[in-house]
Amino acid sequence: GLPLDIVLQDARIPVQIAAMDVYFGVTRPHADHCDAVVDIPAGAPLDKARRRDALIAERAGIQPGQTVALIGVVNPLVEAIRQRGGTCLPCDLQLKRTQWGDAVETDMDKVLDRADMAISTAMTLGNGTFDRLLERVRERRIPLAVYAQTGSAVVAQFVGRGVTTLIAEPFPFTQFSAGATPIYCYSSGTKEASHED
């Protein structure tokens, strides 16, 4: 119930991100600004996650032989990258190994140094690493696809400003519903990409 300007002054980054997400979600709704809406069909959570992560890998445009820095490890997304012929470089501040036993790097710079492209979750917004991620992909001139649940409307403001592709999944998320879930897809060729860097 607090005014937006007060909430934005909260010292906690996740609170600031949540407030901005609500604001942009109302003033720039995904349905009006994305280039495609894809429904993930109804089903069990794991089946829906696999379909969603296959969509992420497809929208990111992974080509066989490419090295993909995955910032924020989601196991079905590791699988989707490999199914498209990419080599996954997993990076996460919490997870130590993927479900297949691959070591997970904690230093984002190390995987970005080796990558042809990057895919990141929007957890980078909440933990304060998003700015560094944008800086590095801009420096290296590599594409960045972001899969965003929380903060998806915030990330949409960066499409064409470092973010090449956005796969936005605002609440309710795929894992919370057995029904169909809409996914909003942006690319740097959409309306949101007209901003200058």
CB atoms near residue 112 (< 10 Å): 24
Reference 118, options 90, 156, 144; nearest CA is 144
Residue 42 near residue 180, CB atoms below 8 Å: yes
Task: Report how far residue 166's alpha carbon sits from residue 121's, in angstroms, rounded to the nearest whole number.
Answer: 10
What tens digit of pLDDT does each residue of 75-121 get?
999 999 999 999 999 999 999 999 999 999 999 999 999 999 999 99
DSSP state of 171: S
Pairing relationship of beta strands 165-168 and 144-148 according to DSSP bridges: parallel
Which of 72-86, 159-173, 176-190 is modeled with the greatest confidence?
Answer: 72-86
Confidence of residue 175 (pLDDT cuts 50, 70, 90): confident
User: Cα-flanking dihedrals φ and ψ of residue 117, to 5°?
Assistant: -160, 170
37 beta partners: 184
What is the value of pTM for the model shown?
Answer: 0.89
| CA-to-CA dists, residue 138 to 14, 99, 165, 166, angstroms | 24, 31, 14, 16
57 vs 145: CA distance, rounded Å: 9
